[in-house]
Structure 1
Amino acid sequence: MSATKPPGELALFLKKLTNRFHGGICAAIPPLEFQSRQELLEFWAEVEAIPLPKKELTLIAQKKDLSPRELFAVLKQLQTVSRINRQPLDSRFVKQYLQGNLEPPRTSTAKITRAVCREFKTTLAEIRSANRSQQYVLPRQCAMFLSRELTDESLAKIANYFNRKNHSTVIHACRQIQTDLEKSPGLRQQISRIKQQLGVYLL
């Protein structure tokens, strides 16, 4: 098991479980050195068939504060954003991306909802229906949350897209997802994957 805190600080775990963790061996895992980050990026670029030359991979490897998972996310996002913006994966593009100077691709509630449907393996009809089953409520709330975060559309317009008469439904959905994100690493990963589909930058 890996964690960013020692066993005694894992507040959300049962005490008997953290006691078991204390009985094991705790070892710190230091951040990857530059050479390791470089080699890892080169490996992933080859496996994922991402046409990034070594020079551009070096620019990414210089980001010391990125974990292996975040490095992989950067590669996939660069691939997605370059395709959406129809720009080559060259040094200028990579530098703009790492500095946050690229214009984010335009999106809409409709595009976001389609991406949510792909992630949760559901349909537009189901997610926009009045069905209150949890298998539809969660993706519906995620779509509302992301629409509020990533678009300039009004609460009323978002509510109307989901066939809701009152925009308070959207407010409730946003608050609920925000609360759930603080507790659920799995949901955070799902939201991250949806944003990657949309070409939204995580850096």
Structure 2
Amino acid sequence: MFDTVRARSRKALLAEEPFCLLPELQFACAAMQRLKASANPLDRSGLLTVLSGPAGAGKSMVVRQGLREACRDKRKQVPAILYPSDWHDLLSADPATNPWETWTEITAQCDMLACEDLDQLVTEDSLADQIARWLDELMARQVRIAITMSQPPGNCPQFSPRLTSRLRGGLIVRIAAGSADSRRQFLDWGAQLAHLSLTDDVRDWMAEQPPGSLRGLRSMLDRLQSEFPPPARINDLKAVQRLFATPAQRKLSLAAIASQVASEFGVSVHELRASSRVQAYRVPRQCAMMLAHEFAGFAMAEIGKYFGRRTHTSVSYSCRKFQDTLAKTPSLREHLRRLQAQMADDTLADCG
């Protein structure tokens, strides 16, 4: 099992991962540099670094960057990243087989070891004490260890005094949630990597959206990239707000859009949602898809599921085809004008 962990870790660390050094991450990055350079066998505190902070604050990103730099400096480094799920075999093993002894021998083969989300793993004192002994043994063998947690050790009531003391013996760094300026900086950096150009109002609105974590902002950028193929200049704030609107923020439903479009074109909702390629149904269906996506902000996957289990690609193609037909069909533009006027009162609730 641990061979799989090491292979997965090595692959992740060899892959290029852009890194944005925000002010909130600087001390944590310096701590990882200290851990990487630790070579004094008498200074065991230098072998353990604990990064704590809220979900999505960048703890894992900092750890991966530190391990990656260690691998670049010394090609023969043996790193590993452990997640809570990686402990399943150990914790479910028969105690009579001395699983902890085996686990210690295997993990001690690493030069640097990251243990992610330790506070999610430990649920009882007996396990906490066992992990404390495990840490002692690894540090005695000069294994450098980085641990991530959502709370500092002293704020984890499930930890035994022994484990809390052991973690406090290392260097503890608290990563704060990103400030508004840092979130804007991260969005500018991420948009540049994604070949997107965000206007200031779009960037500022995105930076204010909960939960405001780096992970959440990265997810928003990925969504923009999928909806606005790069290179793209994104300057329509309302379109971005519609894209990220929650169902509770939408006054329009897919069913309501389909009903209004069906009535306008003189077809049934059933015919709109069917797989028929008949022209009389295809153009109204394309119109409904376009309005659902661009007017009401539904994701293409949601639209495809509603209209006959179509794929994201199929919906995107339908929207483009409708725009092409619209450009050369005055009567279709009149249909669309009436639909938009009818739907205007039911559009997105104010997101700002």
TM-score (norm: length of structure 1): 0.45
Q: Larger Cα Rg: Structure 1 or Structure 2? A: 2
Higher relative contact order, chain-length normalized (CA < 8 Å, sep 6+): 1
